[in-house]
Amino acid sequence: MEILHLILRYAHLLGFAMIFGGWLVAYLSRRYTVNVAMLWGTVVQLVTGIILAAPLPDREVQPDPAKLGVKLVLAVLLAVMIWIPHLKKRESSSKGHFIGIGALAAITAGVATFWT
């Protein structure tokens, strides 16, 4: 069971890397467009995050419900910010919206890292 947990955590980190890496490449090239890496990264993040948050009876320490709630809200907001421009078929987002995506991704990573 531990190996499955580690694989899921690794996939969760890869999802974050897809979101932030895709955002960083687009930002540095001054093309404020949502790319495929960001779209798939949100899917990977949400799916693996929900699975990782599931309370398991053999787990020694259960995840903090408050932290999980905050992370879920941030993840859903990030997914909405990324998917809406794609679903509306916009060629680019406004610079402020695009910077907000990157900032929210960084805040989400900070919550995961520093809230222990």
Mean pLDDT in each 10-residue stretch from start to end of the chain (116 residues)? 90 96 96 94 96 81 87 95 90 91 96 90
Domain extent at residue 102: 2-114
Q: Say which DSSP state 58 is in.
A: T
Q: What is the pLDDT of residue 29?
A: 95
Domain count, the chain: 1
**Taking the CA of residue 52 as centre, how many other CA atoms within 13 Å lie in the half-sphere pointing to its CB?**
22
Q: For tokens 């190996």, what's the residue?
A: 3
Q: What is the pLDDT of residue 1?
A: 76
H-only helix segments in the chain: 2-28, 36-53, 65-87, 95-114
In the structure encoding, which two tokens stand for residue 52, read together? 């990782």
